Amino acid sequence: MTVLSGVVPPVVTPLTENFEVDYPSLTRVIENLLDGGVHGLFVLGSSGEVVFHDDASRARIIEHTMKVAGGRVPVLAGTIDPATERTIANARVAQSAGVDAVVVTAPFYARTSQAEVGDHFRYVRDALDVPVIAYDIPVCVNIKIERKTTVTLAREGVIAGLKDSSGDDGNFRFCLLDLADKPDFFLMTGSEIVVDNALQMGAHGVVPGLANVDPHGYVRLWNHAKAGNWEAARKEQERLCRLFEMVWVSLPRTSPGAAGVGSFKTAMQQLGIIETNLMARPQRRIEGAEVARIGELVRAAGLGA
Amino acid sequence: MTVLSGVVPPVVTPLTENFEVDYPSLTRVIENLLDGGVHGLFVLGSSGEVVFHDDASRARIIEHTMKVAGGRVPVLAGTIDPATERTIANARVAQSAGVDAVVVTAPFYARTSQAEVGDHFRYVRDALDVPVIAYDIPVCVNIKIERKTTVTLAREGVIAGLKDSSGDDGNFRFCLLDLADKPDFFLMTGSEIVVDNALQMGAHGVVPGLANVDPHGYVRLWNHAKAGNWEAARKEQERLCRLFEMVWVSLPRTSPGAAGVGSFKTAMQQLGIIETNLMARPQRRIEGAEVARIGELVRAAGLGA
Amino acid sequence: MTVLSGVVPPVVTPLTENFEVDYPSLTRVIENLLDGGVHGLFVLGSSGEVVFHDDASRARIIEHTMKVAGGRVPVLAGTIDPATERTIANARVAQSAGVDAVVVTAPFYARTSQAEVGDHFRYVRDALDVPVIAYDIPVCVNIKIERKTTVTLAREGVIAGLKDSSGDDGNFRFCLLDLADKPDFFLMTGSEIVVDNALQMGAHGVVPGLANVDPHGYVRLWNHAKAGNWEAARKEQERLCRLFEMVWVSLPRTSPGAAGVGSFKTAMQQLGIIETNLMARPQRRIEGAEVARIGELVRAAGLGA
Amino acid sequence: MTVLSGVVPPVVTPLTENFEVDYPSLTRVIENLLDGGVHGLFVLGSSGEVVFHDDASRARIIEHTMKVAGGRVPVLAGTIDPATERTIANARVAQSAGVDAVVVTAPFYARTSQAEVGDHFRYVRDALDVPVIAYDIPVCVNIKIERKTTVTLAREGVIAGLKDSSGDDGNFRFCLLDLADKPDFFLMTGSEIVVDNALQMGAHGVVPGLANVDPHGYVRLWNHAKAGNWEAARKEQERLCRLFEMVWVSLPRTSPGAAGVGSFKTAMQQLGIIETNLMARPQRRIEGAEVARIGELVRAAGLGA
């Protein structure tokens, strides 16, 4: 497997005003990230609105991403479905497209047990030739992938990494400690706002949605951390925290989902990267004074002209 | 729209040992329900393991159900997907197959707001010619369809009914009161164990998964209630409560999902209705002493030879 | 032990404008309940704002209640404290005052296990000569007293009854079924809005806070149920449901606690029963248009002049 | 106000086999902490089992602590009660005993709103002459003190600091950023396992229960951080993380509370600091193989002979 490390943003999926994937904008999103120096791409994650896209659309998005990336960095693809068989089917499509790894959550909608979550990953892994990265996001799937499950699956060779979007930094640290003897196991944080901390703990990678807006910032943060310059890392992180405040601007008029990714899209539109800030239905669109406020945050962070 | 009322069980989806839909068994499931006197069928609900099936499999299950039902009772189909567009696509397939209504949950995985949930139903309704029934199941989708949302959507003509699997009986009662002037709005409880109460409140229908095991029992309960014979209704309900204890037999070895629908399948297998008690992956199978215990509960309820 | 059954309202604790207990008003609250025909009194429950009062104040409230009740009906006292020893100390005070039973929750603030909850009741019971009633209110104490715990403690003779304010009507029904052979075990619902259902299930008593506003209504409901007149019970319950809408009037300006008991106090003030609608600090007071709206609901329910 | 910073452990309250406070042991606990070089003491926090002690016992514990501390370091006292008036009463006792600050949670048991939480702190502050530190511990009190509430109360001068035991490190960081212009506002983390991260963010203090077992470790960690030696801080933190594993040893036989503080007491007993590992009732005691396992962790961390 390609060794993964560094800044691996979850790629936002831009839409046209007709709610179709806007591929020219998607190209610009990816080029903007690569210009920023990111070390990998994670397409069809939560920030990519994966569950809003059907199988055909997902396949096209992966293909397009692979073509634009052109081997410059590794590409991970989210294959996020409620249960095992549908996950395998989508993961095979991603594998055929040549992705470097698939990223898989615990099952959702139906309530599964921790043991069944483990089996889910085993079944998926058995059906594929591509590495599987576990995606721990209890706020979406209603179950945490427990430390013991992560470590067991890692030692069995079932999963090649973990993307931790649980917000449980202590648990993440124990996973790092438990798997310190497996340096090829890829432990990534999904946080935007405690990335310096995660790197100080020893995280191998970071997957910040906000990097769609400011990839240079997260790459600088990564480089400061690699150089052991923790004070500079903290300053960069604090600037990014202030930028991150955009995710609360449209609450509670919109949902947290629409407020978060929608604010990234709004900022990216203002920066000329994408055409619209539209979110897939039924998510409400950020508008009016919210847009203006996000613009202020973008400029305050030193972005834009 | 067909006027809906009465016992409308969520049809279990039997599997072969190869994890394929077992259509001969599905035929027997449906015939057993119709023999029991049920007033409608709800295919591809949570008890039908809907999210475990891909679009093609769902279409076949609906087609098969329509063919077996043959117009003897109305058929409702669950079109349960994380977001709007995929829900519409599946609902159109169900509509083409001739179902009497589609049953739709709030979006899931992505977190949506109450306003966005309302829009979701509006978008779905606009795209269809078939009635839409809202399915309130927060334990699976992480958001409750609030009373105000239900009543607003009912008055707008967006939804034709509500299947309440939230367990919030007080809220259900207020929906009944608020919509007392709309007798064609179909309010159903998803409970197995307080059905007599729901009917006493004025519920129009009941959707008990356990009716797959004992349809006669729920039809008797319905008939007692219609006759105002509440003491007999209570006795029947209490017998069914004792039978319902099967859903806890395999906990915590299996998940609640596998324990619940899995116990229905186990009982149905023992009653000769279906071939296997297999659940879709990654749900663990009920086995050994658990199977024996479920058999005891079945016989104690007066079922079987 | 006195056999308990019937309508046993949780007595509201009126305050003066100086945040002191208003004993003349408390006398009127109790007399109003007894005039309404209630079968018992539950003082210092959640509706009595028990945790807002210190030990000395609690002792005085109990004494006053005992004096006013004068043996006309049984009196239960809530002895609700975070842990075992303090519960015992307060329960002994209540016992000395001659209450018929004490009502005890699971421990709170500190997280305890189900086994420790069981031990808590055992320790409390061992220290007393008065019956102990378990109070299941997970919304306040963060842990449910599980069915198995309730039944075990009942069979051990540790608890003499259960007040169920969990909202889990199915679980309540199973407790009723499991303990059907112990008719002296007192199973009460804390609901205001599904009381007819609880009685249909076989509940021995009801503890509705709203009975402070309309005791006659709940007594009529009880009498209809005892007579097997379920249709009349339902009608009475529906009228009371409409009255109950007062508990949402001041949301979200106030907390749910202040909105609920505060609305009862507001209505009672309008009915001339108490002097102020003040809640203990830091709960905000219902005011302005909220007061007017509650007055409308009171009059719509046929109360007042 | 005394400027607070550094390692301020929550002092464990040792018990005799008769469930009385063991004052000679408490003296040793405090001396052990001071020998370890801690910068302050927090008595009657959650780790001190505050809610298990009645008012008289709390007063004695504070007095004893003040006497033993003898002015060598500042002393904070938890005055943790369900509502405003009782909090004020206990806080006045602590104030009279000469504590440097009182530590106050949001109200609990009764559900309050964010606005009412703010008022609670305002009322408490108005009644005292001693600084008030807000204690954010939603797992115990069921409500988070939101960032906006914290910042507003800080700017109003109502609270002098925040002890964050919410586990929400991102929110803690935003509080640090928002209040960066108020260096006298004391922001402390309650974490044991991400203390290096909190200090990297700029936290002014740390309140780790585990420091009762290994005060030297946390003081070394603090000193490394102050020196900007983050790699050494990380190594020390990782050693402490391994020691922290003791808190899971007795789960699920005991509750999380009994497992956590109980493991600290078990280790302290083995280190000769206290006489028993007893917890206040109804918490179950750590015993048998659990004790042995904790001993292994203690020795593996380099503690003991």
| Contact predicate D140/D106, CB 8 Å | no
- CA-based nearest residue to A177, from D289, B144, D237, B288: D237
Tell me if there are at least 3 CB pairs under 8 Å linking chains C and A. no
Which residues have C-beta within 8 Å of that of residue C204, sequence separation ≥ 6?
A: C4, C5, C161, C186, C187, C188
Which residues have C-beta within 8 Å of that of residue B157, sequence separation ≥ 6?
A: none
Torsion of CA A10, A14, A15, A21, to 10 degrees: -70
CB contact under 8 A, D140 and C86: no
CB contact under 8 A, A51 and B113: no
Pairs of CB atoms within 8 A across A/B: 137
Touching partners of B (3+ C-beta pairs < 8 Å): A, C
Q: Does the pLDDT at position D1 exceed 60?
A: no
- Whole-Å CA distances, D250 to C162, D200, D263: 30, 32, 8
Return the pLDDT at B304: 86
Q: Where are the beta strands (DSSP E) in chain C?
A: 6-7, 10-11, 41-43, 75-78, 101-105, 132-136, 161-164, 186-189, 205-206
Confidence class for position D220, pLDDT limits 50, 70, 90: very high
Spatial separation of the C-alpha atoms in residues B10 and B8, rounded to whole Å:
7
Summarised one tens digit per residue, pLDDT across range B3-27 is 689 999 999 999 999 999 999 999 9
CB contact under 8 A, B230 and C194: no
Q: What DSSP state is assigned to residue C128?
A: -
| Contact predicate D211/D218, CB 8 Å | yes
Return the pLDDT at B183: 87
Asked if omega into D14 is within 30° of 0 (cis), the reply is: no
Confidence class for position A304, pLDDT limits 50, 70, 90: confident
**Cα torsion angle, D150, D153, D156, D162, sign:** negative
* A136 to chain B, closest Cα gap in Å: 13
| Contact predicate D284/D290, CB 8 Å | no
| Contact predicate A8/A41, CB 8 Å | yes
CB contact under 8 A, B284 and A116: yes
The pLDDT of B63-91, averaged and rounded, is 97
Q: What six digits make up the tokens of A52?
A: 């809003």
Return the pLDDT at D183: 87
Beta bridge partner(s), residue A132: A102
Q: Does the pLDDT at position B1 exceed 60?
A: no
Compute the mean pLDDT over every residue in chain B, rounded to the nearest whole number.
Answer: 97
Q: What is the full DSSP assignment across B265-289?
A: HHHHHHTTS-S----STTSPPP-TH
Summarised one tens digit per residue, pLDDT across range B97-135 is 999 999 999 999 999 999 999 999 999 999 999 999 999
Q: Please tell me whether residue C104 adopts helix, strand or coil conformation.
A: strand
Beta bridge partner(s), residue C205: C6, C188
Beginning with the edge strand found earlier in the chain, give each strand of the sheet holding A101-105 in spatial order. Answer: A6-7, A205-206, A186-189, A161-164, A132-136, A101-105, A75-78, A41-43, A10-11
B202 contacts in C (CB within 8 Å)? Answer: 234
Q: Where are the beta strands (DSSP E) in C166-285?
A: 186-189, 205-206
CB contact under 8 A, C255 and D112: yes
Confidence class for position C1, pLDDT limits 50, 70, 90: low
Spatial separation of the C-alpha atoms in residues C217 and B275, rounded to whole Å:
54
CB contact under 8 A, D111 and C46: no
Return the pLDDT at C4: 83
**Cα torsion angle, C99, C105, C110, C115, sign:** positive
Return the pLDDT at D3: 65
Asked if omega into D282 is within 30° of 0 (cis), the reply is: yes
Q: What is the 3-state secondary structure (H, E, C) of chain A?
A: CCCCCEECCEECCCECCCCCECHHHHHHHHHHHHHCCCCCEEECCHHHCHHHCCHHHHHHHHHHHHHHHCCCCCEEEECCCCCHHHHHHHHHHHHHCCCCEEEEECCCCCCCCHHHHHHHHHHHHHCCCCCEEEEECHHHHCCCCCHHHHHHHHHCCCCCEEEECCCCHHHHHHHHHHCCCCCCCEEEECCCCCHHHHHHHCCCEECCHHHHCCHHHHHHHHHHHHCCCHHHHHHHHHHHHHHHHHHHCCCCCCCHHHHHHHHHHHHHHHCCCCCCCCCCCCCCCCCCHHHHHHHHHHHHCCCCC
Summarised one tens digit per residue, pLDDT across range B232-291 is 999 999 999 999 999 999 999 999 999 999 999 999 999 999 999 999 999 999 999 999
Q: What DSSP state is assigned to residue B15?
A: B
The pLDDT of A4-9, averaged and rounded, is 94
Spatial separation of the C-alpha atoms in residues D42 and D102, rounded to whole Å:
9
B176, closest residue in chain C (CA to CA): C238
* Stated pTM of the model: 0.97
Torsion of CA B176, B182, B183, B186, to 10 degrees: -60
C234 contacts in B (CB within 8 Å)? Answer: 200-202
Return the pLDDT at B4: 83
Spatial separation of the C-alpha atoms in residues A283 and B106, rounded to whole Å:
12
C103 contacts in D (CB within 8 Å)? Answer: none
A236, closest residue in chain D (CA to CA): D201
| Contact predicate B58/B91, CB 8 Å | no
B118, closest residue in chain A (CA to CA): A282
Confidence class for position D4, pLDDT limits 50, 70, 90: confident
The pLDDT of C70-87, averaged and rounded, is 97
Confidence class for position A1, pLDDT limits 50, 70, 90: low
- Whole-Å CA distances, D64 to A104, B157, B238, D92: 55, 70, 59, 17
Spatial separation of the C-alpha atoms in residues A288 and A111, rounded to whole Å:
40
Q: Does the pLDDT at position C72 exceed 90?
A: yes
Q: What six digits make up the tokens of B251?
A: 């906990």
Q: Does the pLDDT at position D121 exceed 60?
A: yes
CB contact under 8 A, A193 and D201: no
Q: What six digits make up the tokens of D224?
A: 């490394």
Touching partners of D (3+ C-beta pairs < 8 Å): A, C
Return the pLDDT at B58: 98
Return the pLDDT at B305: 66
Tell me if there are at least 3 CB pairs under 8 Å linking chains D and B. no
CB contact under 8 A, A234 and D173: no
Q: Does the pLDDT at position C2 exceed 70?
A: no
**Cα torsion angle, A173, A178, A183, A186, sign:** negative
Summarised one tens digit per residue, pLDDT across range A87-124 is 999 999 999 999 999 999 999 999 999 999 999 999 99
| Contact predicate B65/B31, CB 8 Å | no
Residue with tokens 């399948």: B265
Q: Does the pLDDT at position A305 exceed 80?
A: no
Summarised one tens digit per residue, pLDDT across range D49-78 is 999 999 999 999 999 999 999 999 999 999
Return the pLDDT at B111: 94
B116 contacts in A (CB within 8 Å)? Answer: 254-255, 258, 282-284
Q: Does the pLDDT at position C295 exceed 60?
A: yes
Return the pLDDT at C75: 98
Domains and CATH numbers, chain C: 6-300 (3.20.20.70)
Return the pLDDT at C305: 65
Whether the complex's predicted ipTM surpasses the cut of 0.85: yes
Return the pLDDT at B2: 59
Spatial separation of the C-alpha atoms in residues D9 and D190, rounded to whole Å:
9
Q: What six digits make up the tokens of B235?
A: 């006795």
The pLDDT of B157-183, averaged and rounded, is 97
CB contact under 8 A, C86 and D281: no
Q: Where are the alpha helices (DSSP H) in C97-229?
A: 114-126, 138-141, 147-156, 169-178, 195-201, 215-226
The pLDDT of C229-241, averaged and rounded, is 98
Return the pLDDT at D304: 87
Residue with tokens 């303090």: C86
Q: Does the pLDDT at position D2 exceed 70?
A: no
Summarised one tens digit per residue, pLDDT across range C275-288 is 999 999 999 999 99
Q: Does the pLDDT at position A71 exceed 60?
A: yes
Summarised one tens digit per residue, pLDDT across range A213-238 is 999 999 999 999 999 999 999 999 99
* B44 to chain A, closest Cα gap in Å: 13
